[in-house]
Structure 1
Amino acid sequence: MFSFILLSSMLAAAPDAAAPPPPQPADDIVVEGVRQQRERVHQFVKALDDVANLGQIGKFHSPVCPAVMGLPAEQNRRIAERMKQVAAAAGIRTGEAGCAPNVFLIATVGKKDTIEALYEGFPTYFRDLSSKEVRKLAMARTPSVAWQIKNLLSADGTILKKTPLNGFTINEGMSSGSRVRAGTMPQFVASMVVVERSALTGLTITQVADFAAMRAFADTDPERAAGSGAPTILTILDKGDDEPLPVTLTHWDFGYLKSLYATSNDYYASYRRGEMEQVVRKELEKAGQ
Structure 2
Amino acid sequence: MFKKGVSIKTAIIISIVIIMIAALFAGCSSDKKQNAQTNAKPETNGKREVTVKVGAAAVPHAEILNFIKPKLKQEGINLEVVVLDDEGQLNPALQTKQIDANYFQHVPYLNSVAKEKGYDFVVAAKVHVEPIGFYSQKIKSKDELKEGAKIAIPNNPSNEYRSLALLQANGLIKLKEGIANYSATPRDIAENPKNLKFVEVEAAQLTRALPDVDGAVINTNFVLEAKIDPKTALFREDANSPYANDLVVRKGDETRPEIKKIAEYLTSPDVKKFLGDKYGVAVVPAF
> Higher strand share goes to which structure?
2
The TM-score normalised by the length of structure 2 is 0.23
> Higher helix share goes to which structure?
2
The TM-score normalised by the length of structure 1 is 0.23
| Bigger Cα Rg | 2
